[in-house]
Amino acid sequence: MDYMKAADRLWPVLKPLMRGHAHVYRATGGLVGHRFPGAPPMLLLDHVGARSGKRRTTPLVYARDGEHVIIIGSKGGYPKDPAWMHNLRAHPDATIQIGSKRTAVHARVAAGEERARAWQQAVAVDPKLARVWLDLASLDLQNERPREALEHAVRARELAPGWNEH
């Protein structure tokens, strides 16, 4: 069984764990959940469901490119984009929390030279994660049809300095 099939089977367990992670992160102001030993930094993305209109929170690995924040919508190589990516396409205005700081952002897809630079920044975040992302890119280069998820290095641009509490 490949790892994506295993992840699908584990999703009923993983989903509550991700919710718990987001809850603890938020409750502790990022003291718990922003960084774990040996793991890349995590942020909380607050976004609006494309169809439901419900507010959702998703913990994600991120990288920085100066004052910009980079998140990658690869879903670990799954053929479909993650739900949060679909939601950001429909409602690009969102909020991120990094540590205790919450900031309003406007998500957009990076293209061209900016995308290449964002990709380099993202894979530099963590060597183990970089290997997964680079292996994923290699797999996509071998496919006849490029995987759409890899075309979306979403960059969130800070719209307002300081806090943006809901």
Let me know if residue 165 belongs to a domain. no
pLDDT by residue for the chain (166 residues), tens only, comes to 465 677 677 778 878 888 999 999 999 999 999 998 888 899 999 999 999 999 999 999 888 877 888 888 776 666 677 889 899 999 999 999 999 999 999 888 887 788 778 777 877 877 666 666 666 555 555 544 333 333 333 434 333 333 233 3
Angle of helix 127-142 relative to helix 112-123, nearest 10 degrees?
130
Tokens of 147: 């995987």
Let me know if residue 164 belongs to a domain. no
Burial classification of residue 124, based on how many CB atoms lie within 10 Å of its CB (0-12 exposed, 13-18 middle, 19 or more buried):
exposed
Let me know if residue 100 belongs to a domain. yes
pTM listed for this prediction: 0.76
| Structure confidence at residue 161 (pLDDT) | 33
CATH number of the domain within which 141 lies = 2.30.110.10
| Structure confidence at residue 76 (pLDDT) | 63
Let me know if residue 61 belongs to a domain. yes
